[in-house]
Structure 1
C-alpha cells in the first residue's frame, strides 16, 4: 500500500526503532544537535510527535495549541516499550491514502494533508539523525524520501520556520542527500557531541621501599 501514497514511513520508523536498541540509560543526559535538548528530551519529543502526527493522519484533533516543550522530566518511564508502538502506529496511519487528502491538524496548526505528511517525515528523518549522532550510532536515510524532503524543505524560507526548522545551514552541492536535507532543515551535518573525558583512576599508593 505504501506505493499508493506520497511517502513511505516504514524506513525511518524502522531506523529509529533500531536506534532505540542502542540507547543506554547513560545516554539520556547526553547532548543532541537540538540546542538545550538532552537525549531524554529528544525521546520525549519523539513520543509526542508520533502521537500527534498519527492523529493528524486519522483526521482527529489533538492539542488545540502548540505542544509542550520537550523535557527529560516528562519522559515516560516506559519509553522503551511505548515509543516503538507509537512509531508503528504512525507509520500505519500514513499508509491510508485518505490521510493524504484534504487538510490535517497537529499542534494547533492546520495544513494541507500532503504538507503535514512531509512535515511528519522530516521530523522523523531529522530526529532519527539527531538520536544517532547523540548516541554514536550509524544512520542511513531512504534516498527516495530524502529527495522529496529536499524538494519540500527547499521551498521554505532561508531564515527557517519558527517552531519547526532553524535557519538553513549552507551545504555544498557535492554533499550527499542526507547532508543537503539536514542543512535545509537547519542542522549542521558536521555536528558531533562533545568528547567525554574518561574518568581518572586514582593511582594506588605503593608502600615505601626500605
Structure 2
C-alpha cells in the first residue's frame, strides 16, 4: 500500500468541534445511544487512545475489551482533542495499514480496524451533537466509506455494537442512512 486508504482528519475535526462546545451542564443529557453525555465523552476518551494503539500495533496480543464504568478524566477538554489529533497522526503512518492489528480484544486486518475507528469518531460525534443540540456535518467521503461498511449490518443489529437497523429511505441524506444502519433514529432529538 503506498498511501492510507483514507484520512481521519475531517471526522476528528468535526467531533473535536462538538466536544469543544460541551459544558459540564450537558453531562447528564441523554445521547441517542441512551447513555449520558459524560459517559459518551468517557467512551470517546477511551476509543481514541485504543484505536491510536491499534494503528501503532502496540497492544496486539494484549488489548482488552472496554470495561464498564469508564471514568471521564478531569482534563477531558484538553485530552480528547489531543487524542483525536494523535489518532489521526497514527493512521497516517503507512505501517498502520499493514497486516493485522488489535483493539478491544478484537484482532482484524488493519484497514478494517481503521474503518471501525472512523465509524466510532463519526457516529459518536453525531451522538454528542444530537444530545447537546449542535450542528454536525461529517464529510460526504467519510459517510460513503461508512455506508459501504455498514450496508450489510443484519436487520437485528449486532449486539454490543449496533441496535436493530432503522429503515431510512434511499433518497434521505447520507448521514441519516448511515446512522440508521447503526440502529439510531436520525430524527432523534434531545428535546
The SS at the match of 1:189 is coil
Aligned mates of 2:85, 2:115 — CA distance in 1: 17
Larger Rg: 1
1:58 and 2:56 equivalent? yes
Aligned mates of 2:81, 2:136 — CA distance in 1: 17
Preserved CA contact (<8 Å) 1:32 1:133:
yes
Q: In the alignment, what sits opposite 1:91? A: 88
Q: In the alignment, what sits opposite 2:173? A: 176
Q: Deviations over 1:56-91 (max 9, x none)?
A: 0101117543111255xx111110111111111001
Structure 1 stretches of 4+ moved >4 Å: none
Q: In the alignment, what sits opposite 2:100? A: 103
Q: Which sections of structure 1, spanning at least 5 residues, go unmatched?
A: 196-210
Preserved CA contact (<8 Å) 1:167 1:185:
yes
The SS at the match of 1:105 is strand
Preserved CA contact (<8 Å) 1:45 1:70:
no
Aligned-CA RMSD value:
1.5
Q: In the alignment, what sits opposite 1:23? A: 22
Q: Deviations over 1:124-163 (max 9, x none)?
A: 1000000101111000011011111101111332222222
Q: Which sections of structure 2, spanning at least 5 residues, go unmatched?
A: none
Candidates 124, 127, 130, aligned match of 1:130: 127
Normalised TM-score (structure 1): 0.86
Q: In the alignment, what sits opposite 1:188? A: 185
